Structure 1
Amino acid sequence: MANGAAGAITKQQDPAPSLVHEVTPDAELLDTAAGTLRMLAEPTRLHLLWQLTSGPKSVTELTDAADVPRTVVSQHLAKLRLSGLVDTRKDGRHVIYSLHDGHLVRLIRETLNHADHQLTGEPFHD
């Protein structure tokens, strides 16, 4: 038994995940990152992803917000799911979509904030 205690096992806690990971990009990492950016490069998909930055949503909620046909939303959501950018769960007869992780939430928000600066002329900042 760990630490000599009968029946007690000591488990080290995992450190909290960090927001920034220092990496040296290799070909595989660059290709994976480019794939993510390709998924964000389509306006309807970016709009769907932006909708998900505020929390999980159903296909109906996403369709209403995107103002495009449900079939179009479903096709884009399927691509996003296959690419690993969104997760799904069932809630009765509904499928609920959510963003896979916080990095993606921040990437989408920063991308749209950057575009807003470009369009409005607001000075860029760190």
Structure 2
Amino acid sequence: MGHGTDGGIPTVADTPAVDLIARTMHALSTPSRLHLLLRLRAEPRTVGELVGDVGMEQSAVSHQLRVLRHLGLVVGERDGRQIRYRLHDDHVAQLLDEAVFHVEHLAGRGDGPD
């Protein structure tokens, strides 16, 4: 599963780690950020490309990417005069995949969210 786990439930006793987990989960609960992350899950994109993909204003996309970058969910790499954003690593992709799988699983059972 994750680094240093044997498939059991990881234990995180210190408050800073719990706070960071909560901030990360909160970031994933915002539809606009989730749209961006799912788009970046498919392929790296520039801010301009993301604006067209998700239908948000450039300033809103830039702001959301700053939040996601600060939380370690995305990284930006210079590509000429632009910055191309991508998911930070496979852990972020796995987190998104698990969320999608969970929703699809619930929908298949007929007990998805109302």
Q: What TM-score comes out, normalization by structure 1 length?
A: 0.73
1:57 aligns with 2:39: no
After TM superposition, the structure 1 = structure 2 runs for residues 71-90 of structure 1, keeping only pairs within 5 Å, are 71-90=59-78
Measured against aligned partners, the alpha-carbon deviations of 1:81-108 in whole angstroms (never above 9, x if no partner) come to 1222111111111110011111111111
When the two structures are aligned, how many residues end up with a matched partner?
A: 104
**Structure with max Cα Rg:** 1
After TM superposition, the structure 1 = structure 2 runs for residues 22-61 of structure 1, keeping only pairs within 5 Å, are 22=5, 23-26=10-13, 27-61=15-49
Q: Could you list the runs of 4 or more consecutive aligned residues of structure 1 that deviate by over 3 angstroms after TM superposition?
A: none
Q: CA deviation at 1:115?
A: 2.5
Instruction: Write the distance in 1 (CA, Å) between the matches of 2:2 and 2:109.
Output: 25
**Amino acid of the structure 2 residue aligned with 1:25:** V
Measured against aligned partners, the alpha-carbon deviations of 1:44-84 in whole angstroms (never above 9, x if no partner) come to 00010011112211111111110111111111111111222
**Amino acid of the structure 1 residue aligned with 2:2:** V
Name the structure with the higher helix share: 2
Instruction: Write the distance in 2 (CA, Å) between the matches of 1:82 and 1:96.
Output: 16
Q: What TM-score comes out, normalization by structure 2 length?
A: 0.80
Q: 1:50 touches 1:109 (CA, 8 Å); kept in 2? A: no
The sequence identity of aligned pairs, in percent, is 36
Instruction: Write the distance in 1 (CA, Å) between the matches of 2:72 and 2:12.
Output: 20
Q: 1:57 touches 1:97 (CA, 8 Å); kept in 2? A: yes
